[in-house]
Amino acid sequence: MVRAHWSPDLLLGEPVMDTAHRALYDTLGKLTFVPATDFAAAYHACVAALERDFREEEEAMERMRYAALRGHREQHARALAGLHHAAAALAEGDPQPAHHAVDLLAEWLQLHITTMDRALVMALRRAQGVTAQPE
């Protein structure tokens, strides 16, 4: 299993998003150490947290009428589809797809945060009239 590592490079300067991203990475990192008997519950809790985060982010994009909402939402849906597919195998007693999905999610999140979420934060700042970038 790949260890999910938070990095300061993932900070976007938007406290709500940064906190959510950090919490998600913490959760993914903990999944590495969850005993096999507790993995299914921890996996489902992680997926539920991600669903909430995505929903909140999408609602914010809707409120600001974000031009790239459709593509951003599509990426969220694809990630969740993979996690749900792995959850089905987990429900049938096969944890391997879920472990693999966690590894892939950690990698996907890094790319998603540094590209799509970074673009979202820049658009949010423009919409708020903020031009300064965080240090």
More confident residue, 22 or 2: 22
Does pTM surpass 0.85? yes
The pLDDT assigned to 131 comes to 58
Instruction: Encode pLDDT of 25-64 as tens digits.
Output: 999 988 988 999 999 999 999 999 999 999 999 999 999 9
**Domain annotation for the chain: domains and CATH numbers:** 12-126 (1.20.120.50)
Q: How far apart are CA 37 and CA 126, in angstroms?
A: 47
